[in-house]
Amino acid sequence: MRLALPPGFTLKKEGLSVANPLPPIALDGVGTLEHGGPPGLQSGIPRARASATPDGLPALYSSETPFPPLLAELATVQRKAGIDIAVIRLFPAQYLPSKRTALFHPELLLRARLTPAPPENPRFPSIRPLDPSETRRALAGFIDNPADLEATLRSLASPTSPSAPAGGRIDYLILTPSNLVASFQPLLEQKRREGLTAATVALEEIASTTPGRDLAEKMRNHLRQSYTNSGLRYLLLGGDTTSVPCRYAFIPRGASPRDSTLPCDLYFACLDGSWNRTGDSRWGEVMDGEGDADVDLLAEIAVGRAPVDTPEEAAAFVEKQLRYRAAPPVGWTNVLLMGAFLGDFPTGPAQGADMFDPVVAALPGYQFEWLDDRPGKEPKWSGADSLAALNRSPHLVLYNGHGDPSTMMRLEGADLAPLSNSSPFLIYSIGCNSGRFDNDKFSPDCIGEEFVKLPRAGAVAALLNSHLGWFDPKHPLLYAGEFQRNLLQQLAGQADVPLGNALQRGRELLVGQVETSGLMTYRWCYYEITLLGDPGLRVWVPGRVSH
């Protein structure tokens, strides 16, 4: 449940209580519910095999305490489009381990005792959109108390109509080095034809005029101003990290700093607070938000990255964006599903293609081609098969298998030269590190970047993990697969939906799953999924073409 809060107030864990006005219904015959197992990695890296029978299992199944023990709990308080939102987890079903039965509560009554919100950080005061209608648009279908939101917006409304911003409205912004500005000009012109006001800002200008401890913070401070003063909605980071920096988020895992830090462009989308309340070298830590809260996880703007280094690469990137939008792709109803064997686990063998079975239902109107290792453990398709299928110009390419910075779909970067697909495709891979876009100037680009940078052929956009991809060996859809499913549901739900909006809304529907302790697999996925492509790219959807 996501509840918009009135201005000046917040909700704390101790302020939430729940009652069940109706007696619970006993569900007999449930039997022994399986316990949750440890997640797996989509990298194929050797890892310790977890026991199928944890030490505490006998005590767990003899417990008299219902699971979960609470009927409701506060997950987090976030802010989006100037409104604080309490995210609450509800548990209408509880398992009674010792009795092997369950209870269902048909009605829950929540009571929320609000308290005054903590003082703002003067360096990062609250931001609100230029126009209150933007708040309505951003929260439509997202919060569960829209009537309360309308009352809040009326109380905040100015007695006069909002005046035009002094510097002009900017819907779509490209931040790029000055030597790439001219190469992105045709993309700006297309956005203007689509009815958006679009502009480019050279990074050198931001570096010299905007405050911040480093260039990434200067960029974000500029975006905060543009959102509040100019109505910014879309941001394209026009360059590889050698020229357009990312922010590294910190999630503790292992002894090596590289194991615990991941490239995270979400920093430029979620604009409330500093993302580093403690002022140390670790950004995006749990409770690194203002007022000892979590960092901002709800985006104000949609963000994508063009991972280019030269004017020629930028021009090739732009050409594919324009060609994709000029007419529906040749195979615009075709989806290529690529599933690989993921390994043996205590729960049994794991197959990547198992994740796609529920995903197919989210894509009505499409035809599917499968490259599938099931049911065996040996590869049933090769890199050559992958290349041939890609050259048939599918519209969507979904991959669920292992990966690393140089490998995806059983292809390496050097294998992409023969690609000749007539229409550029969209890629979504949940493999590890295939979107590791933070290479230095002396290292090769990751394979995800190569797909997007390839002239004429390859991908118009790619949604990839910048670090580890996570799955459940027994239920492969869990974790990274849930984010992929949500994005596909967003794309199928409306005509010509902008890709960045679909990614962000699909991600935010899982904000209540983001952990604050332990392994934090959902937080990994939430931070790392990166759009290499135009966030304003309107995706062609069968049966939902707009004019």
Region 297-306 average pLDDT: 98
Q: Rounded to an integer, what distance in angstroms lies between the CA atom of residue 488 and that of residue 482?
A: 10
CA distances from 78 to 73, 288, 365 (A): 15, 13, 36
CATH number, domain with residue 514: 3.40.50.1460
Cα–Cα distance between 68 and 58 in angstroms, integer?
Answer: 17
Percent of the chain's residues with pLDDT above 90? 76
Q: Quote the tokens at residue 386.
A: 């992958």
Q: Token match 């790439």: residue?
A: 180
Residues 133 and 230 in one domain: no
Is 316 domain-assigned?
A: no
Q: Does 210 fall in a domain?
A: yes
Asked if the model's pLDDT at residue 53 lies above 80, the reply is: no
Q: How many other C-beta atoms can be found within 10 angstroms of the C-beta atom of residue 18?
A: 17
On whether both 259 and 186 belong to a single domain, the answer is yes
Residue type, 151: A
| C-alpha neighbours within 13 Å on the C-beta side of residue 517 | 1
Is 108 part of any domain? yes
Exposed / middle / buried, residue 518 (Cβ in 10 Å: 0-12, 13-18, 19+): exposed
Measured torsion, CA atoms of residues 47, 52, 56, 58, in degrees rounded to the nearest 10: 180
Last residue of a domain, one of 112, 127, 156: 156
- How far, in Å, CA of 269 to CA of 297, rounded? 9
| For range 186-194, the mean pLDDT | 97
Q: Would you say 412 and 438 are in contact if contact means Cβ atoms under 8 Å apart?
A: no
Query: Is 206 in the same domain as 235?
Result: yes
**Residue 496 pLDDT more than 90?**
no
Q: Give the pLDDT score at 426.
A: 97
pLDDT attached to residue 398: 97
Is 184 within the bounds of a domain?
Answer: yes
Structure tokens at 412: 């390496």
Given a contact cutoff of 8 angstroms between Cβ atoms, the answer to whether 92 and 19 are in contact is no
Whether cis (ω within 30° of 0) applies to the bond prior to 7 is no
**175 and 238 Cβ atoms separated by less than 8 Å:** yes
Burial of 514 per CB tally in 10 Å (0-12, 13-18, 19+): buried
Lowest-confidence pick of 170-179, 251-260, 484-493: 251-260
Residue 438, pLDDT > 70, answer: yes
Rg of the chain over Cα atoms, rounded to whole angstroms, equals: 24
pLDDT, tens digit, 9 for 90 and up, residues 239-284: 999 999 999 999 998 667 678 999 999 999 999 999 999 999 999 9
Q: Using one digit for the tens of pLDDT, what is the confidence trace for 203-245?
A: 999 999 999 999 999 999 999 999 999 999 999 999 999 999 9
The answer, yes or no, to whether residue 373 has pLDDT greater than 90, is: yes
pLDDT (average), residues 165-178: 89
> CA-CA distance, 104 to 509, in Å (whole number)?
24
**Do residues 379 and 525 both lie within one domain?**
yes
What are the angstrom distances between the C-alpha of 267 and each of 38, 173, 272?
28, 16, 10
* Residue 158 predicted with pLDDT over 70: no
User: Degrees (nearest 5) of the Cα angle 291, 295, 297?
Assistant: 135
| Lookup: tokens for 2 | 């996501």
**Strand ordering across the sheet containing 25-27:** 25-27, 101-104, 93-96
Can you tell me the mean pLDDT for 367-387? 96
Query: Which residue is listed with tokens 């997950």?
Result: 75
Q: pLDDT tens digit string along 333-348?
A: 999 999 999 999 888 8
312 in a domain, yes or no?
A: no
* Residue linked to tokens 């490259």: 371
Where residue 35 falls among pLDDT bands split at 50, 70, 90?
A: confident
Q: Are 404 and 499 found together in one domain?
A: yes
CA 35 to chain CA centroid, Å, is 27
Distance CA 505, CA 488 (A): 11
Q: What backbone torsions phi and psi does residue 334 show, to the nearest 5 degrees?
A: -105, 135
Least confident range of 36-50, 400-414, 415-429: 36-50
Domain CATH code at residue 214: 3.40.50.10390
Residue 430 falls inside a structural domain: yes
The stretch 379-407 carries a mean pLDDT of 96
What domain range includes position 482? 323-532
pLDDT at 56 over 70: no
Cα torsion 344, 527, 241, 293: sign = negative
Average pLDDT, the chain: 91
Helices (H), 261-371: 311-326, 356-360
Looking at 242, 273, 292, the residue that finishes a domain is: 292
- Are 327 and 544 within 8 A, CB to CB? no
**Residue 305 counted as domain residue:** no
DSSP secondary structure, 402-422, as one string: --BTTEETTEEGGGGTT---S
Mark whether 430 and 474 lie in a shared domain. Answer: yes
In terms of domains, do 488 and 361 share one? yes
- Residue 47 is predicted with a pLDDT of 46
Same domain, 134 and 227: no
pTM to 2 decimal places:
0.94
Longest dimension (CA), the chain: 70
**One domain, residues 513 and 369:** yes
3-state secondary structure of 439: coil
Predicted local distance difference test score (pLDDT) of residue 163: 55
Task: Tell me whether residue 543 is in a domain.
Answer: no
Higher confidence at residue 442 or residue 192? 192
Q: What is the pLDDT of residues 63-121, one digit of tens each?
A: 999 999 999 999 999 999 999 999 999 999 999 999 999 999 999 999 999 999 988 88
Tell me whether strands 2-4 and 93-96 are parallel, antiparallel or unpaired. unpaired
| pLDDT at 152 exceeding the cut of 60 | yes
State residue 531 phi and psi, 5-degree precision: -95, 110
Query: Does 526 share its domain with 390?
Result: yes
Q: Is 122 helix (H, G, I), strand (E, B) or coil?
A: coil
Residue 545's pLDDT is what?
47
What pLDDT sits at residue 50?
A: 45
Which of 240, 274, 292 delimits the end of a domain?
A: 292
Does residue 272 sit in the same domain as residue 392?
A: no
* Residues 201 and 151 both lie in one domain: no
Instruction: Report whether 301 contacts 269 (CB < 8 A).
Output: yes
Q: Please give the tally of structural domains in the chain.
A: 3
